[in-house]
Structure 1
Amino acid sequence: MADSPDELVRLVREARRCVALTGAGISTLSGIPDFRGPQGLYRRTDIDADKLFDLRYFLRDPSYYYRHAKDFLYNLEDKEPNLIHAVLAEMEQQGRLRAVITQNIDLLHRKAGSRRVLELHGSPLRHRCLECGREYLFEAMARSVRAGETPYCENCGGIIKPDIVFFGEALPADVLEDAEEEAAQADLMLVLGSSLTVYPAAALPEVTVRCGGKLAVINASPTHLDDAAVWRGSDLVEAFTALQTL
């Protein structure tokens, strides 16, 4: 049985340094598929999700990524923030949330109005040529990809890659450092819609616990830190409907 939403509200009210760690599960309400859920990318038979975000494969055949990412990444202009994004932005404005640390690349936290967003896996807002470094805007890339094209650099013909972290790449060092500092200083971390299976992001709640902070975990499936959490739930909408009363 999930813990009481009222208890979660109390925990957030009493926290002085609350941060949120968000995963793909919070964006399914906005029509964006997660990875490991019932309708996730790993369940689809037409996509090899490991290949999709594999850097070595991308360098060999960027068309595979662009062909499949068209349907969930290059249509973000049509996606809107949901209740979870909106409440987190409001919590920040109220001074109740220090930062959002996100594993997501869907830009919805910023679209909702959150200001301190640490994007662990980068952002598709920026694309750049891997040969000459020329930068391209997301809007131009989205038009090209939605038209069925694989974009190549207009300057040198090189491969254009979004500034998101593929398997085989390190996380942005400055962003990870900021996230680790926020996790260490947090007296409450909200883990939202993350299965906590991808490191080093999954280590951040461990940092919070090790430094004396509390965890509240809201995820549809179990995580390895459920026993360490002081509050555990599976229904994001129920929890964040309660947090609207803050």
Structure 2
Amino acid sequence: MEELKELIDQAHYVTFLTGAGVSTPSGIPDYRSKGGLYKREKYDFPPEYMLSHDNLVKHPDIFHQFVVENMYFPDAEPNIIHKKMAEISNEKGVIVTQNVDKLHTKAGAKNVVEFHGNLYDHIHCLKCGKEFDYKEYIKDYRHHEDDGIIRPGTTVLYGEGIDPTNLNDAVKAVENADLIIVAGTSFKVYPFAGLIAYRSPEAKMVAINKENLGLDESVLAITDDAANVFDQL
């Protein structure tokens, strides 16, 4: 912890790379841990298909049910991790997140790159483009005026590419950092995990996760719950 505090104090530009584990203390389930979304056997198709563009178009009713039951947590509040990251990044850095819950922004972070988009902005009809509030989408995926399918926000689905602006901003965030802190992610999903390829050779790197990510020896690995770590900062 002392080494982490010193690294943050000395850094000029801190880039956080975050995943679902950052939001689990706020009551939002993660994806790949035991009991996570991808480990459930409730549905006929694997979660990767349930959250795919193909499923959205071919089975909009099944897609909608899955997303509403598993992805929307509008009452969730930012936890200590979101708050500390907001404080640090607002002073000297940026947060690049895989999360689609908007909790980093809700915590007051001003410099956030939502790598996979989010569930709440730009919810729109695929046929006419009309936008809807998320509360309307939760009730119904159909746009009855033109029989179009309503799509949940800017979220990147399986089978879709990353928004070029988000990808470019994320790469710049990693390139500019002299300290990179990875937190709450298995770091197995690409292209997100590939972002560290843009890390400067001089940049320090810290990985905070319940399980060791197996990164190279130059990385300071803190095997602990991220909430415990950020509560001590």
Contact 1:19 1:99 in 2 (8 A): yes
* Correspondence for 1:69: 67
* Correspondence for 1:83: 80
**1:90-110 Cα shifts (integer Å, max 9, x gaps):** 2234x1x41110000011111
- The CA distance in 1 between the partners of 2:56 and 2:102, in whole Å, is 22
**1:112-157 Cα shifts (integer Å, max 9, x gaps):** 1111110010111221112222222223223x1xxxx4x1123321
In the alignment, structure 1 segments of 5+ residues that lack a partner are none
How many residues are matched?
Answer: 229
Structure 1 segment 73-152 matched on structure 2, within 5 A: 73-74=71-72, 76-93=73-90, 95=91, 97-125=92-120, 126-142=122-138, 144=139, 149=140, 151-152=141-142
TM-score normalised over the length of structure 2: 0.92
**1:19-77 Cα shifts (integer Å, max 9, x gaps):** 10110011111111111111211111113311221111221001112212223323x22
- Residue 212 of structure 1 and its aligned partner are, at CA, apart by 2.7
* Correspondence for 1:55: 53
TM-score normalised over the length of structure 1: 0.87
Pair 1:211–1:140, CA change in 2 (3 A): farther
* Correspondence for 2:19: 23
- Residue 7 of structure 1 and its aligned partner are, at CA, apart by 1.0
Q: Would you say 1:7 and 2:3 are equivalent positions?
A: yes
Contact 2:51 2:67 in 1 (8 A): no
Letter of the structure 1 residue corresponding to residue 103 of structure 2: L
- Residue 211 of structure 1 and its aligned partner are, at CA, apart by 4.2
* Correspondence for 1:219: 209
Contact 1:85 1:112 in 2 (8 A): yes
Identity score, percent? 34
- The CA distance in 2 between the partners of 1:61 and 1:184, in whole Å, is 40
